[in-house]
Structure 1
């Protein structure tokens, strides 16, 4: 799987290359690029204040500190967090019927309703094995139990005044090492990052 590097105002974003030209895909990719770019710019502000306490070193709730302001900006204020929803899923081992839940974020971006679920995990980048329970199972829960189970409900709530609904799951994985920080470790991480990303998106 090939990756492409996007550089926007000093923020580097690695994305999967694709020849898909369908509008929903192009809009979805544009949304993710704008979201990550905005989150990156807000994260830099922590460095400007000489802080090393970035939101992504904590968990999902702390990521809200940079996700929500970015969504508000790129969606011109049309955004809601923790939107109530009903969940129904009939896939084997993932059965849910008439369960109440919440969508992490709903917004309107370029005339599309976006439903966004977010997860956060940690993974040691120097190890060869991804943490199954903390990373893989979280991804499966988000994409199957959460995003797949709200199809009918979101159509009733969101589709009337937009071109359609794009459901997206973003799994933020903070890499860590048990070794003391050093330029050598940072350089090794930078070199391994494309390989790590390709491993996660297979």
Structure 2
């Protein structure tokens, strides 16, 4: 009788332990899935045209969150979850910094604001001589700046964000190249003046 009772106790302990492992695994997977959902809602901050390498890294990490949301074991939380979050944060941080040099994107945004202003208030904005001159400078200087900065952007895009030393050098090189580039300075000045028109608020 004593042996039967002991067997029952051991069986219950085993079932409880298995149940605890199942709950812990489910909770761990849910954390990966929840973070992937949040990333999906925010979207990839990169551009395949401007930063193909880092954009692909973001996509790969996003997919990894999804995979672990279905296959992670309890012991992968919190360490693996924290590590993956940190890696994604580094990728996003670099993407946001490089975005400051995405000349094509900034031109598209300014032209989009102009189109919206014309649609809302008529063609007066397109006939503004100063604004026409500013957009001409924006496009011409922007094209020159984009060509000059492209090699530095490519270098930064190719670096592994986990390689802090290489990344730091690439970003400093990009910053210095932009800071000393006359075309980029003219481009930024024209863009800032256009923004003073507040076309998007017309």
TM-score, scaled to structure 2: 0.24
Larger radius of gyration: 2
More helix by share: 2
More strand by share: 1
